[in-house]
Amino acid sequence: MTLSRSARIALRTFTFLALGVVYVPLIVVLINSFNRDRTFGWPPSGFTLEWWERTAQNKGALDAFLTSVQVGLVATVVALVLGTLASFALQRHKFFGQNSISLLIVLPIALPGIVTGIALNNAFRTVLGVNLGFLTLVVAHATFCVVIVFNNVIARLRRLGGNLEEASMDLGADLFTTFRLVTFPMLRSALFAGGLLAFALSFDEIIVTTFTAGAGTQTLPIWILNNLFRPNQAPVVNVVAAVLIVLSVVPIYLAQRLSGDSKGGGRF
């Protein structure tokens, strides 16, 4: 389709405006993390590393950061195992109710976070009688992280087909050897990309976390929410938010590069 010159200009203008609405506030947060002014007057009167030094010594922020990393890593491992198994089951086998099961796997990420959070909170506390804490938080995060891994792996399996695996077994390799030498190398980049995306999604999740973390467990997004309006905490919150932005963008960028590998084998 060929667009007129005025249509191209209008489309580019709209694109830049839309990107500006999304990214300009993020850039302001990054700049304000170095702003010398405690009230974040704009433009900054000067720049300093004082807030970064104070954040590095803030026990609450460091503990919340460690909790977010631990939850993200464990939830990602669980998602990699379950998401990979589910993708193999649905792609390599045909059975009654296959489409329904696929929908059930993807549904948690499509539902509003508050609905998922309330449902899990009721299930843990009322049905199972489990106290909210680290374990319930991992389970809650894994429910939507599985979807990310599942989508990445099943998309790669559909692209690859099964010819190379069949050829490997025809040449005498058993199932485990075929998976180790043929299937896994072709899936490696998809697994790594799915794991990075799952970790990034878990690391900055706040709605489901609010309903499943419990009183004694605090992730970094929850810490930011609790300290956002406290006196003298605004500079530290900006630094933590800046760290959160970086730690969310890097995995997504790497995952996009890996997922865009057209050869299927990946560069990882």
The tens digit of pLDDT for each residue in 82-133 reads 999 999 888 888 888 888 888 888 888 888 889 999 999 999 988 898 888 8
In angstroms and rounded to an integer, the radius of gyration of the C-alpha atoms of the chain is: 22
> Using an 8 Å Cβ cutoff, are 111 and 205 in contact?
no
Global pTM? 0.79
**Segment (H or E) for 237:** helix 234-259
Q: How far apart are CA 142 and CA 235, in angstroms?
A: 32
**Segment (H or E) for 113:** helix 113-122
Comparing CA positions, the residue from 91, 113, 205, 198 lying closest to residue 148 is 198
**Amino acid at the residue 66:** L
Hey, what are 13's tokens? Answer: 């203008």
Q: How far is CA 11 from CA 3, 5, 20, 177, in A?
A: 10, 10, 14, 52
Query: What is the structure's pLDDT at 140?
Result: 93
pLDDT of residue 267 exceeding 50, the answer is: no
| Residue range 70-87, pLDDT digits in tens | 999 999 999 999 999 999
Q: How far apart are CA 182 and CA 167, in angstroms?
A: 10
Q: How far is CA 73 from CA 34, 78, 234, in A?
A: 30, 9, 28
Per-residue pLDDT averaged across 62-66, rounded? 91
Hey, what are 27's tokens? Answer: 């850039």
Per-residue pLDDT averaged across 228-257, rounded? 78
> Using an 8 Å Cβ cutoff, are 195 and 149 in contact?
yes
